[in-house]
Amino acid sequence: MNSTSRGKYPRIGVPRGLLRHLSFQFLKEGPISGSEIADKIEEFADWRPSPGSIYPLLSHMQEKGLIKVHLDEDPNLKRFKITDAGREYVKEVLSHGDHLKSRNLNLRKMYWRIHMGMPGELYESLGALLDAVEENYMMHKGNDEASEGLKAALDSAVNEIREIDS
């Protein structure tokens, strides 16, 4: 194991407030435990938050009245559900999505322009492609036919890019 890794995943810098943001995203869907939050995050990212970060966050949210314990069929698993006060608060917390998007755009640009040395014009085209994907996805979110069309367009672009070197 090198100095930049710990356990299964490499050490990454997680933006401040991201775990709270993600926890609220999952709490909106219904009752969930700390381990289930970690499982969901791990499913989508190469990162699994530690119990030492999740459980203090959930305790703090419970103390603030934003979530409460939800009793269900599994008495061995402590699940939480969002309260009315939490629903109000979640509107504010989830508005940080714009902040996360802005931060992601900055990181994306630094990675490609500085780390990878991508020329400006090429980066602008990459950024335009990613922005178009996001706009299309958000406009048609939940529409299976549109999602299939977007996937087909992306698959076609991938194939066309790979053919450049062949």
Strands 9-10 and 32-33: unpaired
Pair 51, 34: CB distance under 8 Å: yes
Give the model confidence (pLDDT) of 88-145 as tens digits: 888 876 666 677 778 788 888 999 999 999 999 999 999 999 999 999 998 998 899 9
41 and 107 housed in the same domain: no
9 and 91 housed in the same domain: yes
* pTM beyond cutoff 0.75: no
Per the structure, the count of domains in the chain is 2
Domain boundary among 50, 74, 95: 95
Pair 81, 27: CB distance under 8 Å: yes
- Rounded CA-CA distance 16/100 in Å is 10
User: Which residue range is the domain that position 140 belongs to?
Assistant: 98-163
138 and 66 housed in the same domain: no
